[in-house]
């Protein structure tokens, strides 16, 4: 059983604190993804778990041992680096077996386990090549092979796919997911790419400026972002966010251009500055989406730009002084300058406090659901 526990972990460089007391529990065999923009402390956190960075404060537990004082080799972890960090002077076979050799395993045992890993990852044809003779995807696989050979308690991944092109990245993502299903192990995976996070993770940890913004399953962070940062970070295209003021008389958010969006939300006071958020999926031209009748808000807008993506088209339109995006699923050619009637699904509107950025209540009509 190798769960990982972070207790008030912090990292300081001189006077500069880059990670501010993080708490996180990772269960046995769980796949957890740390995601956030660059400089958010996700890599530093991972490196503290690995033992490559000193821990300035707090405690890290792997399995049931506090590992703060242990060097990397005693933590029984393995790691895949962003640049793979394959040993350039060793063949693929030697790279895979290096950790076992250091651990003093018998040659026959090393050979058996290298062969096993090589078979899983399809590396057999390359075993006697040097890393320089491999393509990016092959190097990536060797790096993963080197990690699984040692049968570690915890797998650490530090942005392993960021050096691959888009197509290969998609393939490797699937391979990593399959690998995890096959060799059940606890995984901590760092990336700045929210799509990787959504597709791979059992649970996502969204970080910013050395703090955790939200922890949850991909579904949770997507459907109920705790704050404006998470709302903007997760999902592509990003959530539309519009400043508004709450009007208690009819329970609506009033935008700057006068449009009123009914909210039916408790916990708001009249005149409170808020931010209304809705994903492009929640906005479509009339007739292109089936939103419940009683939860629709219609308004006409002139489309400024249309981005056809094949199965869907992203439409850009002005709303309250900002340019927002809508998603149209059915095939239809829209020319810029065309005025359409749009429908907003009120059931998918999120409300955030303008001052704190924190989410207010559940989704807009959840309250009604409960009372119905």
Partner 1 sequence: MTIERPWQRWLIRAGVFFAMALLCVPGLWVVLTAFRPNIEILARPPVWLPQNPTFDNFRGIFGLLPDQQQGLPVARYFLNSLVISLTSTFVAIVIGMMGGYAFARYRFKAKGALFVSFMLSRTVPGIALSLPLFIVWSRLGILDTSFGLILVYLAINIPFTIWLTDGFFRQIPVDLAEAAQIDGCTRWQAFWKVEFPLARSGLASAAIFAFLTSWNEYALASQLTRTTVSKTMPVGLMDFTAQFTVDWAGMSAMAVLIIIPALLLTFLVQKHLIAGLTFGGVK
Binding positions for partner 1, rule: CB under 8 A: 50-52, 71-73, 77-79, 81-89, 98-99, 102-103, 146, 150
Q: Where are the alpha helices (DSSP H) in 8-91?
A: 42-50
Q: Which is nearer to partner 1, 71 or 258 (CB)?
A: 71
What's the min distance (Å) between Cβ of 75 and partner 1? 8
The secondary structure of residue 161, as a DSSP letter, is: T
Do residues 29 and 22 touch, judged by C-beta distance below 8 A?
no
What's the min distance (Å) between Cβ of 108 and partner 1? 19
What's the min distance (Å) between Cβ of 325 and partner 1? 39
Q: Which is nearer to partner 1, 22 or 77 (CB)?
A: 77
What's the min distance (Å) between Cβ of 31 and partner 1? 19
Q: Half-sphere exposure (CA, 13 Å, Cβ side) for 288? A: 27
What's the min distance (Å) between Cβ of 76 and partner 1? 9
Q: Which is nearer to partner 1, 100 or 326 (CB)?
A: 100
The secondary structure of residue 59, as a DSSP letter, is: E
N-to-C CA span, the chain: 45
Q: Which is nearer to partner 1, 132 or 269 (CB)?
A: 132
* Nearest-angstrom CA–CA distance, 304 and 316: 6
What's the min distance (Å) between Cβ of 100 and partner 1? 8
Q: Which is nearer to partner 1, 104 or 337 (CB)?
A: 104
Do residues 235 and 218 touch, judged by C-beta distance below 8 A?
no
| Nearby residues of 372 by Cβ (< 8 Å), 6 or more positions away | none
Element of type H or E holding 177: helix 166-182
Joined together, the tokens standing for residue 25 give 């529990």
What's the min distance (Å) between Cβ of 254 and partner 1? 54
Q: Which is nearer to partner 1, 73 or 369 (CB)?
A: 73
3-state SS, residue 366: helix
Which residue is it, tokens 């059983």? 1
* Nearest-angstrom CA–CA distance, 246 and 253: 5
What's the min distance (Å) between Cβ of 49 and partner 1? 11
Q: Which is nearer to partner 1, 87 or 341 (CB)?
A: 87
* Nearest-angstrom CA–CA distance, 229 and 155: 28
What's the min distance (Å) between Cβ of 346 and partner 1? 50
Q: Which is nearer to partner 1, 47 or 327 (CB)?
A: 47
366 φ, ψ (degrees, to nearest 5): -60, -40
* Paired residues of 359 in beta bridges: 352
* Nearest-angstrom CA–CA distance, 329 and 309: 10
* Nearest-angstrom CA–CA distance, 60 and 45: 10
3-state secondary structure 248-302: CCCCEEEECCCCEEECCCCCCCCCCEEEEEECHHHEEECCCCCCCHHHEEEEEEE
Q: Which is nearer to partner 1, 51 or 235 (CB)?
A: 51
């Amino acid at each position: 059983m190798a769960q990982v526990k972070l207790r008030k972990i912090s990292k300081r460089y001189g006077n500069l604190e880059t990670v501010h007391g993080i708490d996180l529990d990772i269960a046995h065999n769980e796949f957890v993804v740390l995601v956030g923009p660059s400089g958010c402390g996700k890599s530093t956190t991972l490196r503290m778990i690995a033992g490559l960075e000193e821990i300035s404060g707090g405690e890290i537990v792997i399995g049931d041992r506090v590992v703060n004082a242990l060097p990397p080799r005693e933590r029984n972890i393995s790691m895949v680096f962003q640049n793979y960090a394959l040993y350039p002077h060793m063949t693929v076979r030697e790279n895979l077996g290096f950790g076992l050799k250091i651990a003093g395993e018998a040659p026959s045992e090393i050979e058996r386990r290298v062969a096993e890993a090589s078979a899983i990852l399809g590396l057999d044809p390359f075993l006697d090549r040097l890393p320089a003779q491999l393509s990016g995807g092959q190097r990536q696989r060797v790096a993963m092979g080197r990690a699984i050979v040692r049968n570690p308690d915890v797998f650490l991944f530090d942005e392993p796919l960021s050096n691959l092109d888009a197509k290969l990245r998609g393939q490797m993502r699937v391979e990593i997911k399959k690998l995890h299903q096959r060799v059940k192990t606890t995984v901590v995976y760092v990336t700045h790419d929210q799509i990787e996070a959504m597709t791979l993770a059992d649970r996502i940890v969204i970080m910013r400026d050395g703090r955790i913004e939200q922890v949850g399953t991909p579904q949770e962070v997507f459907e109920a972002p705790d704050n404006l940062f998470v709302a903007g970070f997760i999902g592509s295209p990003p959530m539309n966010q519009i400043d508004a003021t709450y009007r208690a008389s009819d329970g609506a958010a009033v935008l700057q251009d006068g449009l009123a969006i009914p909210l039916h939300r408790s916990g708001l006071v009249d005149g409170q500055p808020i931010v209304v958020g809705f994903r492009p999926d929640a906005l479509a031209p009339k007739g292109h989406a089936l939103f419940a009748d009683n939860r629709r808000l219609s308004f006409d807008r002139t489309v400024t730009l249309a981005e056809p993506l094949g199965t869907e088209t992203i439409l850009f339109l002005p709303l309250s002084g900002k340019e927002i995006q809508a998603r149209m699923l059915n095939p239809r050619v829209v020319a810029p300058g065309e005025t359409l009637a749009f429908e907003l699904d009120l059931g998918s509107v999120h409300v955030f406090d303008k001052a704190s950025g924190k989410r207010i209540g559940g989704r807009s009509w959840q309250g009604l659901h409960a009372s119905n």
